[in-house]
Structure 1
């Protein structure tokens, strides 16, 4: 089946676009030499010992430079058609010394960016869109102390029943979903920090809801369907850079049919090796967790797909082996072309797609589904954390 990729892009009014571009140019996501730039001292670092308080920590943390709220999942409609989805919001703080002197309503202290994608696995259609807006004048924002993030009419929020509400609509497609956690939040890493390089300062605070009951509606063109399924949520914030020799990462989130979940990210070095800061978490049915260190899990790519647009060569099938966890899996992409070119927002071309999993765990056969994110294949990933 040949995939059909539909790209939707919102064009901002001229004034807003000029202001946004000006702000982006003053906080460039990559250093001039192609490597990560130094993070300004005006933002707080992710340090060991951070104590989470929910639901307060679902909100924005403006003391940190970069933050994102990320949702993916697998959905099915009443006829059995299968879909995948992604909705991600990013907040990017501008150092106070770089903030332009403007009247308060026009002050640019935060940039907000968002990506949305829907994969129709039955037809092979992949839709995606992205947005960028500055904070101010109510166009975009993120509340502290509660989950409420928005750009125009795209939004994340939480209702009185603690359901998380996801909304994004474009000319070609849209989603309106409600997700309910089936397990407590999982804090990744050691002492509340997730390492992103060899230096202790190269870290972030990172937690997930690894199993979300998901229901709502998806729209493609004039067709709207009711869907149900299982989702995943990540929330991460920090101010550090990636390690200087890291060019990208491979990130996996998997739901298994035995009610366990697996998160794993492999930080790739320029020489092709995996950085020792790579890590993951295995989540048990009762919510208990087991950390996974870099030496505990081996991922071997076994098949590739080359993008006709970016020419990037992405892995599409993997062997995951973790002897200490008695885990041996094959993970497969469910559609080759799930590549996003976000030149108008985060300026990164990456692959983010729905996958399946099958293999052995604890001596028993398991199956699963999830999402994989691949960065740094089209171009070295230089964005700060």
Structure 2
């Protein structure tokens, strides 16, 4: 799923000016993946992200959620791309680092934005290695490594993590594309590692902790934003204790309806099943109003009739809202606990909610598009 509307804020900031516009590839059916190259950057597509979330437990049993995501946005204006200066801009990079302290019920996040000039940020094309300043993610011989650090003393936040896939990667959708609307006008190339055994160190509240846990990785790239009638999405990743995983999303229209939804169910052996709108339903159980004024659904009941499964999703913390780009974009991205309504089955997940405070239309209109 598109990982945040921040990417499209960048697109609007880098819209064509007096120069000609670079043509970016659309995501088309029939795409054939080749790894490790497809873990790397795809500069022929305008937007791309590498997204990691997970749930970590220290030796005392305290639980912490984390997010570390790297975004790349290609510049449209050829007059800017052709600038011979060392500061020329071909891609803009941003990254989000967030910590959900589930014991203290506190949420913290930080963002970074940088051009690729002078090596300040970048992403390799031959394999996964993305960085911005001293935040990084890379892959070596099938193992992922993440690192990010901010602050000092009591305010220091840091992760140094090793992530080992326990299942094969999952390619979402059919024929190499993931749809964003019923007519498949907008699509992306999208795959995930849905269960990554995770270990390493976490620095929180000035204390360095040895942690273990399970993480999730998404990599998605394409060149299409949402339709003019659409305003945002609700995206969910779920990891159950029986080694089953679930990814699903619903795209919302400006009138409040959500006619399009899509997902993938992954069984304990890694076998996948594509889910369509008729295969599942999602119902919000409450609302939460953020300090910035946005009203988000909060707490969900997910039903999969064919699987005889009803899951209850409960946020670890209500306020897991990220306020980025100087307040121009707010979205909710947070850790949730998962329980099955009629059994002892449980798990954990992450939820992303966009367009509840600032929709794509208002972002683009600010730039005269």
Same-fold call, TM > 0.5? yes
CA displacement 1:7-33 (0-9 Å, x = unmatched)? xxxxxxxxxxxxxxxx8775159xxxx
Equivalent position to 1:243, from 207, 220, 227: 227
CA RMSD in angstroms, aligned pairs only = 2.0
Secondary structure of 1:352's partner?
Answer: strand
Shift of 1:98: 4.7
| Corresponding position: 1:279 with 2:262 | yes
Contact 2:11–2:73 at 8 Å: present in 1 too? no
Which of structure 1's runs of 4+ aligned residues deviate more than 4 A? Answer: 23-26
CA displacement 1:121-143 (0-9 Å, x = unmatched)? 01112110000000111101000
In the other structure, the counterpart of 2:41 is: 60
In the other structure, the counterpart of 1:11 is: none
In the other structure, the counterpart of 1:168 is: 148
The whole-number CA distance in structure 2 between the counterparts of 1:102 and 1:307 is: 42
Contact 2:15–2:77 at 8 Å: present in 1 too? no
Secondary structure of 2:317's partner?
Answer: coil
In the other structure, the counterpart of 1:137 is: 118
Shift of 1:83: 0.3
The residue correspondences of 1:1-385 to structure 2 (distance < 5 A) are: 26-27=13-14, 42-99=23-80, 101-160=82-141, 162-171=142-151, 172=155, 173-276=157-260, 278-308=261-291, 310-344=292-326, 347-359=328-340, 365-382=344-361
The whole-number CA distance in structure 1 between the counterparts of 2:30 and 2:81 is: 35
CA displacement 1:22-63 (0-9 Å, x = unmatched)? x8775159xxxxxxxxxx660001000111112211100001
Shift of 1:101: 4.6
Contact 1:71–1:87 at 8 Å: present in 2 too? yes
Secondary structure of 2:86's partner?
Answer: helix
The whole-number CA distance in structure 2 between the counterparts of 1:98 and 1:199 is: 35
CA displacement 1:47-86 (0-9 Å, x = unmatched)? 0011111221110000100000000011100011110000
The whole-number CA distance in structure 2 between the counterparts of 1:224 and 1:153 is: 18
Contact 1:131–1:344 at 8 Å: present in 2 too? no
Gaps of 5+ in 1: 1-22, 30-39
Secondary structure of 1:295's partner?
Answer: helix
Shift of 1:357: 1.1
The whole-number CA distance in structure 1 between the counterparts of 2:86 and 2:97 is: 28
Secondary structure of 2:213's partner?
Answer: strand
Contact 1:318–1:331 at 8 Å: present in 2 too? yes
Gaps of 5+ in 2: 1-9, 365-369
